Structure 1
């Protein structure tokens, strides 16, 4: 992690921790997912920071060394985007290159929707744009499609999933989540967190995840718990209500999309059809490229780190 510097900054009423490398050049802003941290981007920060860019990766609201407001409703898309716009202002730039994964990718789409003038181009990992269905709320739609044991359905009740995660322990939650290669929508058996999500949790870590990497994630989540991250899921229906004014909006920012062919999102029903069948391009007219990585699962920024860094660089250097 040589050359990566850390500081806490005031944004939108909270203190946010950011990791950064590179003092000059265009800003590349990295947004992590669940249950992750700035650390998920360690390889890309090092790579882009060495290529003349200013790489910046925050711990998002509720994660790591960033403050975690106690109210569930403090985690809407508006709050998170508000934090990021304040961060971009604080960095003293008009525009950034955006790179985001998982929940960070969802926030990335919101940021492109609300403030497209602040984003030069967007490299999106794993989660494509989701077209808002005006007839059914987000979680209600997921519950209808996948049932009550679908992970997002299970995450809704405050305190319940936190208790189940505490039961199996932070180290197990992190290890089983980061190493899962189970495809399709994550379904948990009733009353438990672990085995349904990743029945094949390995004893030995994969080559791309060291014991030190795992220990870093575990140390931070042991301090904070998972409630901050879970609160993002608990605002999906509220986000659906708040996003009504943007119904049918097109994302005009230039986009490159990258996923693994074993990704839990990519292998969920109807997602491939949306990505490759014209729907994605219709919603995101400046979608320039879709990359599907062979043999790569959900955490592709860590599993295929060098390849992802190269893809980011090849795309953003055009602008």
Structure 2
């Protein structure tokens, strides 16, 4: 099935729908704190039934979406476009510190909350910060738990979604902001999903990049079963690297071979992830041999240096916990506390599918999931990019997000 690159907002129904597609204290930033090409298809009419999509979603393949990898949080000082004076630190209700960038909204403008994934920091949103800050939108851009200037606890149990989402709400409360638009990428999309499940009253709408909405039952499927199911459909083990990230000592192995790891994390040739990132044992072998491949051209040498230094200082012991809770049973057990009535999103949803992302395989699987995730409108955009769409195609992403946000009529 071919999905058009640009789909208008799609009102979803109980039986079926048709999509018409046309294509508080302030601190200096401390990211370096240590521990404590597919052309867009022509316009097309797509008729999809809910049972057909539910069959795809229930197959557990959505787990492929969670597999994303993000980039990394950097900044020794606060590189442009970040303003050092706008970084804050907050001790949330459970005693952990969150480091975040906070830009007040101009009068009549809404606030946008950006949530990164693995392995990233708020620096991954630099292109979006520059764009939306210039247009007067309020911004909240935290270093997620385990990253940058935020606390990096070693206990995986502290990373489950019911706790992390409460942390994010604590930030909103500290800033005195009642509702925001939230945009997630990679594991940030998981947190975005759970914010919709636990605190729907605090959000105007939800945007997912590369990794789509994750249902409350997604992590109930054992890892081995998911790995087998996905391989049967895709022909390769797209989430095999979770096993490595969840293993003892993985964080140090990554640090010891950081150049090799960064090469394959951010690469123009995303087909390399099929052979050298995703399968069981492949990523560990790739970096242990210090294999080098050309770096992505959408990240400058200076940006790469900032990103890598952030992880040399902060390490990966915290970040890999996001995989440990999903690889084991912690996240699946935690998700059992989600209210049944909140399993479906009741607000507008945006999904940006990445056509050359062979790990999260966000089109069409995540796309299918997005279409049944909300009982309101669903806006779909497809991008000829790999996993890091906000870095690779920032102008397209920013323009599409702006159009969608303006269409929500939130500004007074």
Does the Cα contact within 8 Å between 2:263 and 2:294 map onto a contact in 1? no
Matched, 1:65 2:154: no
Instruction: Specify whether residues 200 and 97 from structure 1 end up closer, same or farther in structure 2 by C-alpha distance, changes over 3 A only.
Output: farther
Look up the match of 2:404. Answer: 315
Does the Cα contact within 8 Å between 2:241 and 2:281 map onto a contact in 1? no
How much has 1:253 moved relative to structure 2?
2.1
For 1:162 and 1:97, locate their aligned partners in 2 and report how far apart those are by CA, in whole Å. Answer: 33
Instruction: Specify whether residues 184 and 89 from structure 1 end up closer, same or farther in structure 2 by C-alpha distance, changes over 3 A only.
Output: farther
Greater relative contact order (Cα < 8 A, sep 6+)? 2
How much has 1:143 moved relative to structure 2?
3.5
1:241 paired residue among 317, 333, 348: 333
Does the Cα contact within 8 Å between 2:244 and 2:280 map onto a contact in 1? no
Matched, 1:282 2:363: no
For 1:64 and 1:100, locate their aligned partners in 2 and report how far apart those are by CA, in whole Å. Answer: 17
TM-score (norm 2): 0.68
Does the Cα contact within 8 Å between 2:97 and 2:150 map onto a contact in 1? yes
Matched, 1:7 2:101: no
Matched, 1:257 2:348: no
Look up the match of 2:266. Answer: 178
Instruction: Specify whether residues 187 and 9 from structure 1 end up closer, same or farther in structure 2 by C-alpha distance, changes over 3 A only.
Output: same
Look up the match of 1:160. Answer: 249
- Secondary structure of the residue aligned to 2:118 is coil
Structure label with greater radius of gyration:
2
How much has 1:82 moved relative to structure 2?
1.3
Unaligned runs of 5+ in 1: none
Look up the match of 1:98. Answer: 182
For 2:260 and 2:287, locate their aligned partners in 1 and report how far apart those are by CA, in whole Å. Answer: 13
Look up the match of 2:50. Answer: none
- Secondary structure of the residue aligned to 1:16 is strand
Look up the match of 1:203. Answer: 294
How much has 1:139 moved relative to structure 2?
2.4
2:307 paired residue among 192, 217, 228: 217
Unaligned runs of 5+ in 2: 1-79, 232-236
For 2:265 and 2:307, locate their aligned partners in 1 and report how far apart those are by CA, in whole Å. Answer: 12
Aligned residues: 310
Matched, 1:16 2:98: yes
- Runs (4 or more) in structure 1 with deviation over 6 Å come to none
Instruction: Specify whether residues 190 and 124 from structure 1 end up closer, same or farther in structure 2 by C-alpha distance, changes over 3 A only.
Output: closer
How much has 1:205 moved relative to structure 2?
4.0
For 1:191 and 1:200, locate their aligned partners in 2 and report how far apart those are by CA, in whole Å. Answer: 12
Q: CA RMSD in A?
A: 2.8
How much has 1:226 moved relative to structure 2?
1.0
- Secondary structure of the residue aligned to 2:177 is coil
Look up the match of 1:30. Answer: 114
Does the Cα contact within 8 Å between 2:240 and 2:281 map onto a contact in 1? no
Output one character per residue of 1:152-209: Cα deviation in whole Å (capped at 9) or x when no partner: 122222x3322321331x2332332022612659424637526389x99543540x20
Look up the match of 2:278. Answer: 187
